[in-house]
Structure 1
Amino acid sequence: MPNPSVEDIKAMVFQLPLGELIVLMAEIEEKVENFTMMQLADTGFDEWNDPEEDIYELET
């Protein structure tokens, strides 16, 4: 069975009762927020990957 298209999914979603639609929207919003925060956090760790900034690595 092929994956449903976006239009197929929208048609199914719009058939949901209002309460279920509200719950689904909240879950989607949370997932998008988490994804966005992870992308932002990922850029903050770039400086940690700089070997010249590795002040805790002891040379022996």
Structure 2
Amino acid sequence: MTSNLTKEEIKEMIFQLPVEQLIALMADIEERVENLTMMQLAETGFAEWNDPEEDIYNDET
């Protein structure tokens, strides 16, 4: 999804939300950030699998 909204325009729209919706939005954002952070941490555990010499699944023989 691509948008031409600026950060300030988004903030202005968000700040118009009722408190209950702000709280729900914050929870959604926190969950998204936590998921992305965990995925980034998990990537470091699989770095050793990125060895091109051992990439048997991309053989075109």
* Category of TM-score, reference length = shorter chain: 0.7 to 0.9
- Cα distance in 2 for partners of 1:27, 1:49 equals 32
What do you get for the CA RMSD once the two structures are aligned? 2.1
Deviation at 1:48, TM superposition (A): 2.8
Structure 2 unaligned blocks of 5 or more: 55-61
Aligned length: 53
**Higher Cα Rg: structure 1 or 2?**
1
User: Which one-letter code corresponds to 1:27 in the other structure?
Assistant: D
Task: State the Cα distance separating 1:52 from its structure 2 match.
Answer: 7.9
Q: Which amino acid aligns with 2:8?
A: E
Shift in Å, 1:41: 0.1
TM superposition score normalised by structure 2: 0.75
Answering whether residue 48 of structure 2 is matched by residue 11 of structure 1, we say no
Long gaps (5+) in structure 1: 54-60
Identity fraction in percent: 69
